[in-house]
Amino acid sequence: MEKAISVEHLAYAYPGVEDTPDIVVFEDLSLQIEQGSFVAVLGGNGCGKSTLAKHFNSILLPCGGKVYVYGMDTSDEEKLMQVRRCTGMVFQNPDNQIVANVVEEDVAFGPENLGIASPEIRNRVDRALKQVGMYEYREHAPHLLSGGQKQRVAIAGVIAMEPKCIVLDEPTAMLDPRGRKEVMQTVTKLNAEKGITVVLITHHMEEAAQAQRVVVLHQGKIEADGTPQEVFSQVELLHKIGLAAPDTVELCWELNKHGFNLPLSALDPDDCAQILLRFLEGLTRREEENWHLF
């Protein structure tokens, strides 16, 4: 399969101010992201996840090692525009990434920079706004929208550039539950229907659980990498690095300490209910069998 992003032995340090030492973020980090996948990068505050995201479209350049985006070296200055065209970025604060004071003008900003012909921009803007469900708001002023709506406009602004990959850096951190749901639905839909690669950077377990693959980052190193089930069943590891598993997994883990024997794979209440029910029924059946023996 084609690699969307390929990080090879990345080293990066923020240069220190005056006489303070450089702040080392990564020493040797390698990571491959497949085209069309939905990957969540999970980590606590200050684990380097945002720094990593900024490497994906040449906002930051590696101090050592290489980052390739669809085979293009991000430090190659000639490829800069192409790299940024391939991977769109959505940031945490929706207010600070909306440029224009009309929704559709903002969505048009990216394609305009690419020098696309006017009628085609119009098409792309309309299509992008429909995809995120904000078409009715195309003539609104962004500052009157809710957080979730603003973030969807920001996503539309990125997909109007028709990227192959979208990197979202904590897109829901400043939103309420309703806004969070809106953004997650939009992102999941784009991945499923358009085959756009999604890299979601987050510290919300419930959101990471919706991805196909979860990469846990701690102090610049990958601590776990796998399907959500695989990653979230490592409850002790998550606790050690200041994270938590989804509530339902935490519950099963706690119950196992009390002599239950539950798999740690239930990421949502429905699954968990099934698992608990099966376990309790199993107990009852065994009791009955035991009873019949006598």
Partner 1 sequence: MLKDVTLGQFFPGKSLIHRLDPRTKLLILIGYIVALFLAVSWLSYGVVFVFLVSCIAISRIPVKSFFRGMKPLIFILVFTGILNIFFTQGETVLVQFWKITVTLEGLIRAFFMVFRIMLLITGTFLLTYTTSPIALTDGLESLLSPLKKIKLPVHELSMMMCIALRFIPTLIEETDKIMSAQKARGADFESGKLMQRVKALVPILVPLFISAFRRADELATAMECRCYHGGDGRTKMKLLRMRSFDYYSFLVSAAMIAGVCVLRHFGL
Partner 2 sequence: MAPFLEVKNLTHKYSAGTPFEHTALCDVSFTLERGEFIGVIGHTGSGKSTLMQHLNGLLKPTSGSIALDGTDIWQDKKTTRQTRFRVGLVFQYPEYQLFEETVYKDIAFGPKNMGLDAAEIDRRVKESAAAVGLSQELLTVSPFDLSGGQKRRVAIAGVLAMEPELLILDEPTAGLDPAGREEILSYIDSYRKAKQATIMMVSHSMGDVARMADRLIVMNKGRIALMGAPGEVFCHARELVDMGLDIPALTRLFLQLKELGLDVEPVYTQEQAVKALLALRGGNANA
* Straight-line distance from the first to the last Cα atom of the chain, in angstroms, rounded to the nearest whole number: 59
The site map against partner 1 for 137-176 (x = CB under 8 A) is --x-xxx-------------xx--x---------------
244 binds partner 2 (CB under 8 A): yes
C-alpha torsion sign, points 84, 90, 91, 97:
positive
225 binds partner 2 (CB under 8 A): no
219 binds partner 2 (CB under 8 A): no
16 binds partner 2 (CB under 8 A): no
Q: How far is CA 91 from CA 119, 154, 171, in A?
A: 28, 8, 6
Length of the chain: 294
d(CA 189, CA 131): 9
d(CA 112, CA 141): 19
Angle ∠(2,68,89) on CA atoms, nearest 5? 90
Stretch that binds partner 2, among 97-105, 113-121, 155-163, 264-272 (CB under 8 A): 264-272
126 binds partner 2 (CB under 8 A): no
d(CA 120, CA 147): 29
Q: How far is the CB of 145 from partner 1 (least distance, A)?
A: 12
**Sites for partner 2 among residues 136-175 (CB under 8 A):** 146-147, 170, 173-174
Selection from partner 1, partner 2, none that 206 binds (CB < 5 to 8 A by kind) is partner 2
Binding site for partner 1 (CB under 8 A): 57, 59, 81, 84-85, 88-89, 91, 93, 95-102, 104-105, 108-118, 121-122, 125, 139, 141-143, 157-158, 161
